[in-house]
Amino acid sequence: MSAHKVPVSVLVVIHTADGQVLLIERADAPGFWQSVTGSQDEGETLEQTAIREVREETGLDAGAFELTRWDLSNCYEIYERWRHRYAPGVTHNTEHVFGLKLPAPLPVVLAPREHLNYVWLPWKEAAERCFSPSNAAAIRLLPTRI
pLDDT per position as a tens digit, 109-129: 998 899 999 999 999 999 999
Residue 25: which pLDDT band, with cuts at 50, 70 and 90? very high
Q: Does pTM surpass 0.75?
A: yes
DSSP string, 64-124: GSEEEEEEEEEEEEPPGGGGGGB-TT--EEEEEEEEEEESS-------TTTEEEEEEEEHH
Q: Which sign does the torsion angle of CA 74, 38, 129, 13 carry?
A: positive
Task: Look at the domain 8-145 and name its fold.
Answer: Nucleoside Triphosphate Pyrophosphohydrolase (3.90.79)
Segment 58-92, tens digit of pLDDT: 999 999 999 999 999 999 999 898 899 999 999 99
